[in-house]
Chain A
Amino acid sequence: DGGITQSPKYLFRKEGQNVTLSCEQNLNHDAMYWYRQDPGQGLRLIYYSQIVNDFQKGDIAEGYSVSREKKESFPLTVTSAQKNPTAFYLCASSLTGGGLNTEAFFGQGTRLTVV
Chain B
Amino acid sequence: GENVEQHPSTLSVQEGDSAVIKCTYSDSASNYFPWYKQELGKGPQLIIDIRSNVGEKKDQRIAVTLNKTAKHFSLHITETQPEDSAVYFCAASNYGGSQGNLIFGKGTKLSVKP
Contacts and interface: CB of A to CB of B under 8 A. Distances in A.
Interface of A: 6, 31, 33, 35, 40-45, 48, 50, 56, 58, 90, 92, 96-100, 102-109
B52 interface: no
A48 B49 CA distance: 21
Given A42-B105, A42-B107, A97 B45 contact: no
Contacts, number: 66
Contacts of B95: 98-100, 102
Interface stretch (B12-20, B72-80, B96-104): B96-104
Given A40-B9, A42-B89, A104 B102 contact: yes
Given A50-B100, A103-B49, 10 more contacts: A41-B106, A42-B106, A43-B44, A45-B101, A90-B44, A103-B46, A104-B102, A105-B46, A106-B44, A109-B41
A98 B45 contact: no
13 contacts: A31-B100, A31-B101, A41-B106, A42-B104, A56-B99, A58-B101, A90-B43, A97-B99, A98-B97, A102-B102, A104-B102, A106-B45, A108-B42
